[in-house]
Amino acid sequence: MQKPRINPLRTALLALLSAGFLSAQPLMAQDAAEQDQDRRSETPGSETNEEDAELDRLTVVGRLTRYSALKSDTPIMETARSVSIETERDIENKGALELADIYQYSAGVFGEVYGFATRGDWVRVRGLDVPEYRDSLQALFGNYNNARPHPYSIEQVEILKGPASVLYGQGSPGGLVNVVTKRPRIDLQPEVVFQYGSNDYMQVATDFGGALNESGSLIYRVTAVGRDADTMVDYVANDTTLIAPSLTWSPSPMTNITLLGSVQRSRGQAGAQFVPVQGTLTPAPNGEFIDESFFAGEPGFDRYDTDTDSITLLADHVFNATWSMEVTGRWTEGSADYRQAWPSFIPGRYVYNPDGSLYQNGTVPRTWYVSDASSEQMALDTRLRADFFTGELQHELMIGAQYQDVTTDNDSGSAYALGLDLATGRPDGNFGDEYWINLFDPVYGDIPPEALLQQFVSDGPEANTKDRGLYINDQVSIGNWRITAGLRYDDVSTDTGTQSQDDDAFSYSFGALYRFDNGLAPYASYAESFEPVVGVDSITGEPFDPQEGRQYEIGIKYQPRGIPGQVTVSAFDIEQTNLPNPNSQPGQFSQQEGAAEIRGVEIESVLRLGEFTVEANASRISTENAAGFRFQGVPRDQASTWLGWQPDGALSGFTAGFGARYVSETWDGYDDIRTPGYTLYDLMLGYETGDWRFRVNARNLTDKQYLASCLARGDCFFGERRTVVGTVAYRF
């Protein structure tokens, strides 16, 4: 694909990362190897088969900790909720290049909402948009004001399905995604990783660390990435620089304090081009289709540059056999310089002639968008935990207090041309046809003057949200029963700069699970969510109430004896209420009259069968929005499977994986525009010998051309074409 520029700074960074870390690693590796040998010599040789089996199971399924999505280290098998985990090994084997790629092998999770994208990692869980958390604290606020996380910095991704307001406060009834970043490990084996692939994808990364003193009470880790990449879209780059140092101090066996730092700079352009239905889903009037590489913007104008700096605190202390405490805190500052030109639209007039057809020769007007956005977050979550008995009841009681202060700012605006004015025959909009573009034969070079664009940029006021929450959650065990109950109170104040609003809400959750000795564990649960809505009822003049959600879920989990892994089958019913204006039409009274409902079933399984690891996931979701239509961009059916092979004997060191992903048709939210379903295939081949690892990943192996979704306003989003990436890693 055409490249917008050569970036000597990025190229130099790649070289420096390679040379610098290659020369620095041997000494670190020697120390780490000696420490690892010491630990092995101190480890008793009488590990039980049960311990080995549990380690195998956790390697396959993933592990929850007290800093994870459930704020508990209770095994997934004993949790009356549906939780999906993608481990670091899963991320590597499936060739995930972005966070959105990681979502595509989980039941009930749609990770390609807007097709190929470079601005964000949009995901829908059980039909609903969900927030992104990082290390159990919310990571994103608003849109386009932060860098997206890089997969190489991730230890695992946890998807908690269903409302989670008891643990996290305001949020979606669909659930949440929690990204667990890499932490210091005393046994870490340093590595340098080189990657090259489709669209001149070039990346070098390194990950190293270990003990800084003889006692091992001070451990560090540094993860760094440099990426220089083109994409499937002409003139769209996707470059990133990341350095993430971290440090753990354990002054005593009872206390651990970890600091996670991250500095990320991403440079590129927006991948989504907002191309029209005519020319993508259906032929254009001239019979042609728009190419997936089509760039609707202007080289030299379009950019999507993001910066994010953050410091995260993870601390825990054990007071005695009963009481312990955990503290999670974060400061984050993010910004985005975003400019893009795309085919102009307003609802009902998307690049159409007055008669409703696309311009016959394919030349269409464009909107020119300018945005300068920023965000700053201070968050703190403190939890007291008590483990005790009352008679035969074993309790894990958690009492928490959470505070969050987030400020966002966005100075933005757009200039546009919207077609022909019937009275004058001239283009209708801010300027004429000199800045239009042909969808099939684009010619670049005309950019509106900066002074003209700045006339349409408004100085948006700062918006501030403060969220204060108190919660209590008790996990009770008696015999084979596992019972959980939670209660939370939140007070949320929102100031948009033009309007202030205070909301409060109580949230409840309850779950019960019975673990039979044969590995079966049926469960049932109930959970609630709330989400503030800023605005007033145009009839009563009263502020809107928060949107509310509730979910009923039943299911059964199964952990086969002697086979690492587990199977979960679940059914759920979600209802959203207090939705403003079901049809959201201009001139309508602004009232909260809407309700939406989602019902579905899911099956998710991962099992290790000898040399093979088998994943099989499927879901069926029925949705109805406040207007009585199917949800926008939510497939009714999804299914995926991944077969991994790691042989022993003569083929030891070889590894392979093959995956298939099916997504059914989606609709536009009004049951008018149908986007066909598709099936994609992925392949991985790898070999490991000594300290060297080699791997090739191919996603969308057959190079399937497909649309991820089309919207009621008239635009569509291309799915990602085939990508092939080769990886060479050296461990010291």
Domains contained in the chain, CATH given: 8-578+610-689+696-731 (2.40.170.20)
* Mean pLDDT computed over 77-83: 94
Tens of pLDDT, residues 539-577? 777 888 899 999 999 999 999 998 999 999 999 999 999
Closest by CA to 307, choosing from 361, 375, 367, is 375
| Spatial distance between the Cα atoms of 245 and 258, rounded to a whole number of angstroms | 11
Closest by CA to 711, choosing from 677, 676, 678, 667, is 667
| Spatial distance between the Cα atoms of 365 and 343, rounded to a whole number of angstroms | 6
147, 121 in Cβ contact below 8 A?
no
- CA atoms in the 13 A half-sphere facing the CB of 33: 10
pLDDT class for 415, splitting at 50, 70, 90?
confident
Tens of pLDDT, residues 218-243? 999 999 999 999 999 999 999 999 99
Q: DSSP characters for 461-489?
A: PPEEEEEEEEEEEEEEEETTEEEEEEEEE
- Kindly tell me if the per-residue pLDDT of 413 is higher than 80: yes
pLDDT class for 28, splitting at 50, 70, 90?
very low
The CB-based long-range contact list for 215-218 (8 Å cut-off, 24+ gap) reads 216/35, 216/186, 216/250, 217/249, 217/250, 217/251, 218/247, 218/248, 218/249, 218/250
Closest by CA to 335, choosing from 374, 278, 378, is 374
193, 204 in Cβ contact below 8 A?
yes
Query: Which ranges of 246-337 does DSSP label H, i.e. alpha helix?
Result: none
Say how many Å lie between the first and final Cα of the chain, rounded: 36
Distance of alpha carbon 287 from the chain centroid = 38
pLDDT class for 15, splitting at 50, 70, 90?
very low
Helix (H) or strand (E) holding 609: strand 592-609
| Spatial distance between the Cα atoms of 115 and 94, rounded to a whole number of angstroms | 18
* Mean pLDDT computed over 175-198: 96
Tokens matching residue 503: 């909301």
* Mean pLDDT computed over 130-153: 90
DSSP strand E in 610-677: where? 612-624, 637-645, 654-663, 666-667, 674-675
Main-chain dihedrals φ then ψ at residue 713, nearest 5 degrees: -70, -15
How much of the chain is in helix, strand and coil states, percent to nearest 5? 10, 50, 35
Residue reference for tokens 């464009």: 366
Q: DSSP class of residue 456? A: T
Closest by CA to 178, choosing from 264, 257, 308, 66, is 66
- CA atoms in the 13 A half-sphere facing the CB of 685: 6
Residue reference for tokens 């089958």: 569
78, 513 in Cβ contact below 8 A?
yes
Determine the pLDDT at residue 21: 38
Q: Residue 32: helix, strand or coil by DSSP?
A: helix
> How many residues are present in the chain?
732
- Kindly tell me if the per-residue pLDDT of 354 is higher than 80: no
66, 73 in Cβ contact below 8 A?
yes
- Kindly tell me if the per-residue pLDDT of 455 is higher than 80: yes
